[in-house]
Amino acid sequence: MGKRKTQNRKSILREYVESFAIALVLALIVKCSVVEAYKIPSSSMEDTLLVGDFLLANKFIYGSKVPLIPAHLPALAEPKPGDIVIFKYPLNPKVNYIKRCVATEGQIVEIKNKVLYVDGKKVSDPANGKYTDPRVRDGNRDNYGPYRVPKGYIFMMGDNRDNSSDSRFWGPLDRSLVLGKAMIIHWSWKPDPNSPGFVWYNPISILEWTGYNIIHFPWRVRWNRVGDIIR
């Protein structure tokens, strides 16, 4: 009798372990291949995306990486001008960047006194894009090109045109570094310079941080942005 109970307990434990393993594998597949969450850390995409926005990206559309092996699924579409794209930063592939694609391979990019032209045609500024410096400065920021985008590359720019590290400065983006297309803002958390910091090994700092943000929670959430489709 005791032996049977032991066997039953082992059987139940095994079921739990197998269920957990399956759930973990499925979660990994979804994260790596379909949808992934990202946080906006900088102001380079203002006012389309704000610091503290949390977004979901469609990794499947551009051909997501297959987990655990060096292969990608076939792409359903290629990045096109106007798409907001998450990608690995070419100068440090461990860091993810997000910018707007403004031109694809073979197209000619030119910027004249802050105005963007692609293939000789003026491109309208993004609906929520902006310029923060009225001056026209020397250098690639305000005057660039003409430059033909090489095969296998795309040209990226931030919507905050005067404050963005993008293809004007580090060159076109290799298509292989593309991770996904931004879809929706699922959460937005306004930065608060008065919020106390915390370190994981200091319980008091964690309690202070938690208490402060619970009290200020209703004012820190940008409720009007939650659920916005990214365009």
Which residues are the active-site residues? 44, 99
84 — phi, psi (to 5°)? -95, 120
Question: Letter for the amino acid at 137?
Answer: R
How many Å apart are CA 133 and CA 26, to the nearest integer? 47
Q: Is the alpha carbon torsion for 71, 76, 77, 79 positive or negative? A: negative
Q: Which residues pair with 180 in a beta bridge?
A: 86
Q: Which of 106, 122, 115 has its CA nearest to residue 136?
A: 115
How many Å apart are CA 36 and CA 223, to the nearest integer? 21
Beta carbons of 80 and 44 less than 8 angstroms apart: no
Tokens describing residue 69:
């092996």
How many Å apart are CA 167 and CA 97, to the nearest integer? 12
- Longest Cα–Cα distance of the chain, Å, equals 86
